[in-house]
A and B are shown apart, each in its own frame.
Chain A
Amino acid sequence: MILVQRARMISFQHAKVTGLLKLGRNMAHGLRTNKTLAIGLFMILMIGLVALVGPLLVDPDDARIGAYPARLKPSAEHWMGTQQQGRDLLTVTMLAIPNSLKVGLIAGSVGLGIGIVFGLSAGYFGGRLDTIIKLASDTLIILPGIAILVLVAVSIRTMTVEMMALVVASFAWMYPTRTIRAQTLTLRERGYVQVAKMNGMTGIGIVVREIMPNLLPYIAAGFVGAVSGAMLATVGLEALGLGPQNQFTLGMEIYWARFYGAILRGMWWWWMPPVIIIGLVFVALLITSMGMDQIVNSRLRRST
Chain B
Amino acid sequence: MDQKELRLLEDRCIQENPPACTATCPVHVDVRSFLAEMARGNIDGAYAVYRKTIPFAGIVGRVCDHPCQAACKRGEAGGTIAIAALERACVQLAAPKTAKVPALQKKDQCVAVAGGGLSGLVAAFDLAAKGYGVTVFEAEGRLGGRLWHLGEDVLPGQVILEETASLERLGVRLQLGTAVGRDVSLPELDFDAVYLGLGETVKGLESLELDDRGRVAIDPLTFATSFRGVFAGGSMLTGETVFSIIGSVSHGRRAAVSIDRYVQGASLTASRDREGPYVTRLFTSIQGVEPLPVVSPRNPEQGYTREEAVSEAQRCLQCQCLECVKACEYLASYRGYPKRYIREIYNNESMVKGQHTANGLINSCSLCGLCAEVCPNGLDMGEVCKTARGSMVQKGKMPPSVHDFALRDMEFSNGNKFALVKAEPGQHSCAHLFFPGCQLSGSSPEYVAKAYAYLREGLTGRVGLGLRCCGAPAEWAGRSDLFREGLYEIRHQWHELGQPRIITACSSCYAVFKQNLPGVDIVSLWEIYDQIGLPEGTLTHDGYRVAVHDACATRHESHIQASVRHVLERLGCRVEELAYGRGMTECCGFGGLMSFANPGLAAKVIDRRAGESGTDYVAYCAMCRDRLASRGKPALHILDLIYGRATESLALRPDPGYSQRHENRARLKARLLKEVWGEKVADPTGFENVKLEISGEIKTVMENRLILVEDVQKVIEYAERTGNKLVNQDRFLAYFKPVSVTYWVEYAPAEEGFRVYNAYSHRMEIAGEVQR
Do A and B interact with each other, yes or no? no
Residues of B within 8 A of A (CB): none
Residues of A within 8 A of B (CB): none
